[in-house]
Chain A
Amino acid sequence: MIKKSILFLSILLFLTSCSKDSDERLKISASTWIGYTPLFYAKEKGWLKELNIKLINVSSLSENLYLYKAGNSDAYTGTQYEYNELKNQIPSLKPIILFDRSDGGDIILSNKTIQELQNTDKPINAYLEIDSINSALLKYFINKHNLKNINYINRDQAKITSLKKKDMLNPTIIVTYVPYNYTLEKNGFQEIASTDDSLDLIVLDALFTTNEVLDKHQHQFKELKKLIDKSVVILHNHPQEFYKTIKPYMLDMSYSQFLLALKGILWINKDVSSELKERMNDIGFSSRGLL
């Protein structure tokens, strides 16, 4: 009787464990941004498939946020702005992998100079993704330069790239980021500020998820972190090969633009300085849960 029961339980255990042989599929959503290229590189190399990770690519930061909120992805990329947007609604949400710190990668373009903008009597049209870090940048810029009479126009970055200077009758400000700035610059707009020294605003990019998802996909996240680190190393050592691989994700960016764009970010996937940690804490961006 005991032997039979043991045999039966063993069969039952075998049957129920069949589905647990491999990790469950993990869906990560990421918007188009130079700082997330290690993810695209890993995808193109087929490494994510081995970990059963599906990378969903969307055009805008806010779209990415909505996708996650709708439950269509398990983790999402974004800045501290997108994190703060959801933090209160999802208490267990936290950054788990850091990508980069924007160091000129977030840019403000205009058809006017800052001085012209300050002196104009006309309303200034400001194009941006309002539900994104764009808002924080614009707010900082407006306060810093004491601009008034702002007309906020909410557009996706993909839509914003279709703007042309010649079509702009009023003074115009565009808040964008790499690689969308290249098309806009091509369309006649000039950079008037960026997250380099001219904007004393810290912008961090990270991967966010909840404790529950992290527990469930612990192994996949840990392996993903290794792949990101590995991709960044390849980027440093073989930038051209890296560029060729991720090019389809970066619109029409040329290799030289790519190299230039890289200068607009600082990789912080590894070796986060204590100074940065302090600043992270100041902006409510806890570093304790990082892998």
Chain B
Amino acid sequence: MNLSIQRFSFLILFVLLSVLISFFSYNYFSQQEKTASVILKSINSQISETSYILSKRIKNKESVKTVHPMLDRIAAHNDFIAAILIHDENNVLLSTDPQYKKILDSHSLYKKNRSNYKEILEAKAIDSGIKFYEGNKAVFLKLQFILDKEEINSYFAQRQVDYLIYFITIPLIIIILLSLLMRYFILKPLERLRQFAHYQSDIPKAFKLKELEIIRHSMVQTFQRLESEKNELYSIARTDLLSGLANRNALNEYTERLIEKSKRAQEEFAFLFLDLDHFKSVNDSLGHNVGDDLLKKVSSIIDEVIRPNDFVARVGGDEFVIIITDYDSIMEVTSIIQRIQKQLAQTWIIQTHPIAVSSSVGIAFYPKDGDSIISLMQHSDIAMYEAKESGRARYHFYTEELNKKVQDAINLDKEMRDALVNDEYKLFYQPKVDINTGKIVGAEALIRWFSPTKGLIAPDTFIPLAEENSFIVELGDWITREAVKQQHRLKNKGLDIIISINISAKQLLKDDFIDKFINLLKEYDVSNSKIDIEITEYMFFQQNNDNFKKLNELHGHGITISLDDFGTGYSSLSYLKKFPIDYLKIDKAFMDDFQTKEGSIFIDTIVKMGQTLNMKIIAEGVEESKQVEYLKSIGCDQYQGYHFSKPISAEEFENKFA
């Protein structure tokens, strides 16, 4: 049987209390009997003595009254005597208290055959005889001491209360106090120790009792040591001892967690498998110790190059897995890979041996190339072998299509940057015509790329990539400068029209954009009001607040803002109200549809809305005179399109319109 300390202590205290109460009860009853005995003995002695005195004093029944004062005195001095009676069996001759006038029968009198306590509680009086002589004739009278029952009962009741207080209540209080102390100093600390041993959560505070404190202290030390060893073992189990990087166990755990997280967030991540090229020959020719040192070096370089959020693990001899998350484009991933490969591709001096290292990387993406650690490992490994097959020191995507797309993008990126250096870009201008006057009021500058090898490359081909890899900022600067220069030239030739320049969000958000732009206008003496910035609706959603501030600032300088391709993106009336838009450009798609009822309703609505918001409306893609007539009828302000002129080179524009 398992007995808790709490129950055990209660048992002990209960036994102790029982023994104490038993002892005190015995003592109490014994004392009660003794007290009753003393009282009775005292009254008996007094009645006996009084009886003797009265026998000598009383001469006849008439003289009984002369002893009244004496009996008064006896009754008054004894609390337990209510009254004293003298009677001759028939009549009461004297009573010290007129309330007692009756002779009590023998049943009410004291008998010696009962216990003293019982007797004193039940007997109403104690009697004795008085024998005196009238001459030589003996006369018998009775002397009765009437007991004061109230006084007697009250006396014993008071003793009962005293007993309850002193012998039951006080021991009870002491035992309860002992119990509380035991609970506070022993039971609670023990319970805390139990909980600590079980859960190891909160470390109990220092205990008051020395022995318990020693146990607590030992337990705390033991658990701390165990925790430390556990952490150490955990770390060893998840760390590659040679490189100090995460090992395969850690990779598995990390990847599983990341897959769960990515699944919920519907995000992707890149799983890279990196293998050193010709590492086996390093081991074979220079020994494993050199190979190991090389691996340490490679590990530390990879660890330095990757971003803090990225993950790297060594999963085999010269095999590493790198997981890249939170990237904007595949180009960012390839950029990281290139950085790693570039950092590794050096000649390292390992133990005096110069060793040139290169690496091959296979890339798989979660979830499209694999949705588990096994499949991602397999597919990135396959991709890595493809990279090796392709000549090593390169990376390869698991999907061939992606591989090609990325390679194309990389090539295009290079060509696009080279094109700027080689001056292969040209700006074309499409006039903007006032519908009412038919005169040119402005022109939109449009980029064109003339590749010596590929011919004219459409903006749709390279602008998205330029946006993605931020080349657009560099290209945008060139466009802006060219457009401003062109305005200056046209003005000099007498055609002081507004030139519209398409600005990307990335370009706009550059800290120095506005300063550079204003300075450029000053440099070419171009009035701010002769430059119009064209933005798309997408800008409302990217860095909304920053764009808003920049556009407001530009507008404050007197530069007008046009909203391009209105109605094709995320058109929102609240943005129209918030942003400082001067021109609303109706997309060509609407104009193509102008003859249908639905198409005309849309165009009409946009025009009316623009007018209400104090914006001017420019229709794009106007190819026919019917469209011009229609636009004129609904109050549109300007138009641009093939009907008047397709985008033409600056020279042609000058020749034709200046």
Contact = CB atoms under 8 A, between A and B. Distances in A.
Interface of A: 1, 8, 12, 15-16, 18-19, 25, 27, 29, 43-44, 54, 56-60, 63, 67, 70, 72-73, 156, 158-159, 162, 248-249
Contact of B72 (A15, A16, A27, A57): A57
Contacts of A57: 72, 76, 96-97
B608 to A, nearest CB: 77
7 contacts: A16-B169, A19-B157, A63-B73, A67-B73, A67-B77, A72-B76, A72-B77
A18 B98 contact: no
Interface stretch (B158-166, B230-238, B405-413, B419-427): B158-166
B9 to A, nearest CB: 16
Given A8-B176, A19-B158, A67-B77, A60 B69 contact: yes
B117 to A, nearest CB: 20
B161 A18 contact: yes
A243 B377 CA distance: 126
B30 interface: no
A3 B98 CA distance: 56
B69 A72 contact: no
Nearest to A46: B99
Contacts of B98: 44, 248-249
The DSSP consensus for interface residues of chain B is: helix
B418 interface: no
Contacts of A56: 75-76
A19 B161 contact: yes
B99 A43 contact: yes
Interface string B171-201: 0010010001000000000000000000000
Given A8-B176, A72-B76, A249-B98, A158 B69 contact: yes
Nearest to B170: A12
B229 interface: no
Given A25-B154, A58-B73, A16 B165 contact: yes
A44 B180 CA distance: 56
Interface string B406-445: 0000000000000000000000000000000000000000
Contacts of A60: 69
B66 A72 contact: no
Contacts of B624: none
Contacts of A248: 98, 101
B227 interface: no
Contacts of B151: 25, 54
Contact of B169 (A12, A43, A70, A73): A12
B79 interface: yes
A162 B66 contact: yes
Interface centre among A57, A73, A159, A249 (most CB of B within 10 A): A57
Contacts of B75: 56
A162 B69 CA distance: 12
A25 B165 CA distance: 21
Contacts of B101: 248
A156 B73 CA distance: 12
* A-B interface, 6 closest residue pairs, ranked by CB to CB distance from nearest: A248-B98, A59-B69, A158-B69, A19-B161, A56-B76, A58-B72
Contacts of B72: 57-59, 63
Interface residues of B, number: 27
Given A54-B151, A58-B72, A59-B69, 12 more contacts: A1-B180, A12-B169, A16-B169, A19-B161, A25-B154, A56-B75, A60-B69, A63-B69, A67-B77, A159-B66, A162-B66, A249-B98
Interface of B: 66, 68-69, 72-73, 75-77, 79, 96-99, 101, 148, 150-151, 154, 157-158, 161, 164-165, 169, 173, 176, 180
A7 to B, nearest CB: 11
A58 B69 contact: yes
Interface centre among A8, A19, A67, A72 (most CB of B within 10 A): A19
A67 B69 CA distance: 13
Contacts of A73: 76
Contacts of B164: 15
Contact of A67 (B68, B76, B97, B173): B76
B447 to A, nearest CB: 83
A156 B286 CA distance: 141
Given A63-B72, A72-B76, A72-B77, A15 B169 contact: yes
A59 B68 contact: yes
Contacts of B66: 158-159, 162
Contacts of A44: 98-99
A15 B76 contact: no
B70 to A, nearest CB: 9
B42 to A, nearest CB: 14
Contacts of A8: 176
Interface centre among A1, A12, A29, A60 (most CB of B within 10 A): A12
A29 B73 CA distance: 11
Contacts of B158: 19
A45 to B, nearest CB: 11
Contacts of B180: 1
Contact of A29 (B76, B165, B173, B176): B76
A63 B73 CA distance: 7
A16 B162 CA distance: 9
A36 to B, nearest CB: 14
Given A16-B169, A58-B69, A58-B72, A70 B97 contact: no
A175 to B, nearest CB: 17
Given A58-B76, A72-B76, A15 B68 contact: no
Contacts of A59: 68-69, 72
B68 A158 contact: yes
Nearest to A249: B98
Contacts of B176: 8
Nearest to B176: A8
Nearest to A60: B69
